[in-house]
Amino acid sequence: MSVLSDSQRMEKIVSLCKRRGFIFQSSEIYGGLNGLWDYGPLGVELKRNLKNYWWRVMVHERDDVVGMDGSILMNRAVWKASGHEDTFTDPMVDCRSCKARLRADQIVEKKGAKQCPVCGGKDLTEPRSFNLMFKTYVGATEDESSVTYLRPETAQAIFAQFKNVLDVSRKKLPFGIAQIGKAFRNEINPRNFTFRSREFEQMELEYFCRAEEGIKLLEYWKEERLKFYGNIGIARDKLHVLTVPDEERAFYSKGLTTSNMIFRSVDRSSKASLIGPTTICRSIKRPAANRSNISMRKRNRNSFRTWSSRALESIARCWL
Ligand SMILES: [Zn+2]
């Protein structure tokens, strides 16, 4: 029997998912749209089962977590304050020879010279930032004052509503707010099926605690995540728990572990093959309730890209 290459294997998975009614390409009869997927009759059941189970375990069966469901569009000020408008970017390089547009970290270096990984050309532009948020306009006029973005993560609604949730839920620290919802990223090179798509769904818990409890709770949530993955049938030996070294963490992070699901050779270049969750202990002194706290969370995009990831549109991120 011949051995399949990685791309042949991926093709087989994509076509199996289509034939069995799990996942179809979005707008396929009109030629499709890259990086977007529709879930078919079986796919939607699988996804719903997973979401329902996550919600049951994370919210209904716990006394210290409540849920919420935030809007996808938010005031632009949120994305300014969170740092997304300025820093949620990927540096991009264009190859003048073959016109390929590449993330700067995909450029290969041979004998000290930078080369296009597609054609081998050396005529490359300087890196330029490209914001990954989808821009849109609210209301009838399309000008600067009406700009906002499709949310690139679900966390911001949780932070922005922290005070309201605290007031009505009678919770005391430590407690968490969970949310499941769509997020959007205008990936330059969506690829590898649902592993890097432009629209996806996140399952997210923000767990708020006093700073001195952070690292202990980080350990606790890491174990909880591993238990969860065991319960949905992922063998422990397929999970790889990584403690991210100090120098690779974002500045707001006091500790970060990520338990990755090992998928075979899906996306070696960016580790996007690996399923989250990431468990981050953020250095927020008080519970994030106001804008100045949110702005502390200005993120380090590189660390985010490397350590968060998706699979089957689902990320479970536990942020402490
Ligand atoms: Zn090229």
Ligand 1 mean position, distance from CA 194 (Å): 26
In a domain, 188, yes or no: yes
Structure tokens at 80: 């300014």
Ligand 1 mean position, distance from CA 135 (Å): 29
Domain of 158: which CATH number?
A: 3.30.930.10
Q: What is the pLDDT along the chain (320 residues), one digit of tens a residue?
A: 567 887 888 888 899 999 999 999 999 999 999 999 999 999 999 999 999 999 999 999 999 999 999 999 999 999 998 889 888 888 888 889 988 888 888 888 888 888 888 888 888 988 888 889 999 999 999 998 999 999 999 999 999 999 999 999 989 989 999 999 999 999 887 877 888 899 999 999 999 888 888 888 888 988 898 899 889 888 888 777 877 777 777 666 777 767 666 554 344 433 333 344 455 555 443 333 333 333 333 333 322 322 233 322 232 332 22
In a domain, 118, yes or no: yes
pTM value > 0.75: yes
In a domain, 47, yes or no: yes
Number of structural domains the chain divides into: 2
Looking at the structure, tell me whether residues 43 and 146 fall in a common domain: yes
Looking at the structure, tell me whether residues 137 and 124 fall in a common domain: no
Q: Considering only CA atoms, which of 146, 101, 142, 144 is closest in space to residue 124?
A: 101
Ligand 1 mean position, distance from CA 122 (Å): 8
Looking at the structure, tell me whether residues 25 and 96 fall in a common domain: no
Looking at the structure, tell me whether residues 153 and 290 fall in a common domain: yes
Alpha-carbon Rg for the chain in angstroms: 20
Ligand 1 mean position, distance from CA 93 (Å): 10
Ligand 1 mean position, distance from CA 103 (Å): 13
Ligand 1 mean position, distance from CA 84 (Å): 30
Domain finish residue from 131, 162, 190: 131
Task: Domain of residue 249: give its range.
Answer: 6-88+133-319
Ligand 1 mean position, distance from CA 102 (Å): 9
Looking at the structure, tell me whether residues 74 and 180 fall in a common domain: yes
Looking at the structure, tell me whether residues 65 and 149 fall in a common domain: yes
In a domain, 292, yes or no: yes
Strands 89-94 and 65-67: unpaired
Instruction: Scan for tokens 């719903």, then name that residue.
Output: 48
Structure tokens at 167: 């007031």
Ligand 1 mean position, distance from CA 105 (Å): 15
* CB neighbours of residue 117 within 10 Å: 13
Ligand 1 mean position, distance from CA 120 (Å): 6
Strands 89-94 and 101-103: antiparallel
